[in-house]
């Protein structure tokens, strides 16, 4: 089979290997989340804040692993993803507040939260006895072995994210355009910012399964930024960026199937490549 096309190879193996099906579905679920939230992240220029949220989630993973090992009776039900979710949401609220009230050296402060969240996670894991293979899958993604329970969890997060965007879209677009105007129109800018950052946190957790926490930022920003080159309204931008995300999480993964190249890296490299290509095309046209 090694000499046949990866596509045919992939679909042939799909019949015997359920993980290939769940892997594809996980990619599509993550695409929906990042395709819808990515455009707000890029438009609002909070890619850096999103990176901080993703790395603070490592602290949550460390805390969850630590608690589960040290207090097995009380914390048996806690999985690292619970810790990551809780830490990402706490980080989103914290960063939203910092962003609103600390104007001076704000980027340095966010950078400190970014590094400290990650360092705390590494420290807690070091103090947790045993070897933690699953940590690696959270840091670098693991789209090869996705359980059905993961797919259902991602689908649930998608429903929450989509519902929130439908309810909050006008407010989110207003703070993207002009925060001061939104405030004068009676919008609570701080609360709206925190809602957006919490949606970013949920998306980060969704994407973790696909590309891992370290590379989440690539998938959150690059497809949306690429789509923004060619679409000029928010509604169509959400649609195009979702389709692009779906393309990027499926095609590179199938293309490298059966090779030594990790699908997670292939996805991120493809996202970056498509973005750079789009920049080049745009430059040439204009």
Partner 1 sequence: MSDARPVVEIRGVTFGYPPAAEAQPVLEDVSLEIGPREFLGVIGPNGGGKTTLLKLMLGLLKPQRGTVTVFGRAPTEVRARIGYVPQHGRIDPAVPATVLDVVLTGRLSRSSWGSWYCRTHVEAARAALALTGMDHMASRTIGTLSGGQRQRVLIARALASDAQLLLLDEPTAGIDAHLEQGLTDLLHRLNQRLPIVIVSHDVSFVSTHLKRVACLNRRLTCHAASEVSWEVISHMYHEGVRAVRHRDECPLSDPGCHEGCVPDEPKEHAGR
Cα separation, 232 vs 255, whole angstroms: 31
Decide whether 182 or 216 has the Cβ nearer to partner 1.
182
User: By the criterion CB under 8 A, which residues form the site for partner 1?
Assistant: 39, 43, 165-171, 173-174, 176-178, 180-187, 228, 231-235, 237
Query: Rounded to the nearest whole angstrom, what is the least distance from the CB of residue 274 to partner 1 in the complex?
Result: 18
What are the backbone dihedrals phi and psi of residue 260, each rounded to the nearest 5 degrees, phi first? -80, -10
State which residue, 15 or 170, has the beta carbon closest to partner 1: 170
Tell the smallest beta-carbon distance from residue 60 to partner 1 (Å).
Answer: 31
Among 52, 55, 42, 27, residue whose Cα is nearest residue 223: 42
Least separation, in Å, of the C-beta of 104 and partner 1?
A: 13
* Cα–Cα dist 34/207, whole Å: 7
Rounded to a whole number of angstroms, the minimum distance from the CB of residue 38 to partner 1 is 12
227-231, long-range: CB < 8 A, 24+ apart? 227/39, 228/39, 228/42, 228/43, 229/278, 229/279, 229/281, 229/282, 230/278
Closer by beta carbon to partner 1, 123 or else 177: 177
Distance in angstroms (rounded) separating the CA atoms of residues 86 and 80: 10
Q: How far is the CB of 169 from partner 1 (least distance, A)?
A: 4
Choose between 26 and 224: whose C-beta lies nearer to partner 1.
224
Q: What is the number of alpha carbons within 13 Å of residue 278 lying toward its C-beta?
A: 17
Name which of 9 and 169 has its Cβ closer to partner 1.
169
Residue 268 CB, nearest approach to partner 1 (Å): 24
d(CA 140, CA 265): 9
Nearer to partner 1, 47 or 125 (CB): 47
């Amino acid at each position: 089979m090694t000499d046949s096309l990866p596509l045919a190879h992939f679909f042939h193996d799909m019949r015997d290997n359920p993980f290939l099906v769940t892997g594809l579905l996980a990619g599509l679920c993550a695409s929906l989340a990042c395709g819808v939230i990515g455009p707000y992240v890029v438009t609002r220029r909070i890619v850096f804040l999103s990176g901080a949220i993703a790395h603070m989630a490592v602290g949550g993973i460390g805390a969850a692993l630590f608690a589960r090992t040290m207090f097995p009776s009380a914390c048996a039900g806690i999985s690292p993803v619970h810790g990551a979710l809780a830490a990402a949401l706490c980080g989103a609220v914290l960063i939203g507040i910092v962003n609103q009230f600390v104007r001076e050296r704000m980027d340095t402060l966010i950078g400190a939260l970014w590094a400290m969240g990650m360092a705390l996670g590494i420290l807690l894991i070091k103090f947790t006895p045993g070897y933690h293979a699953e940590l690696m899958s959270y840091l670098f993604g693991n789209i090869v072995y996705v359980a059905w329970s993961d797919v259902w969890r991602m689908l649930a997060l998608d429903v929450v994210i989509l519902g929130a965007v439908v309810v909050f879209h006008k407010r989110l677009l207003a703070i993207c355009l002009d925060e001061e105007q939104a405030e004068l129109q009676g919008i609570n800018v701080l609360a709206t910012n925190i809602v957006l950052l919490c949606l970013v946190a949920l998306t980060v957790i969704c994407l973790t399964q696909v590309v891992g926490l370290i590379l989440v930022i690539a998938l959150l920003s690059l497809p949306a930024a690429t789509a923004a080159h060619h679409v000029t309204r928010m509604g169509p931008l959400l649609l195009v960026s979702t389709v692009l995300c779906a393309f990027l999480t499926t095609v590179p993964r199938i293309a490298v199937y059966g090779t030594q190249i990790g699908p997670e890296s292939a996805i991120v490299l493809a996202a970056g490549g498509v973005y750079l290509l789009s920049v080049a095309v745009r430059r040439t046209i204009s």
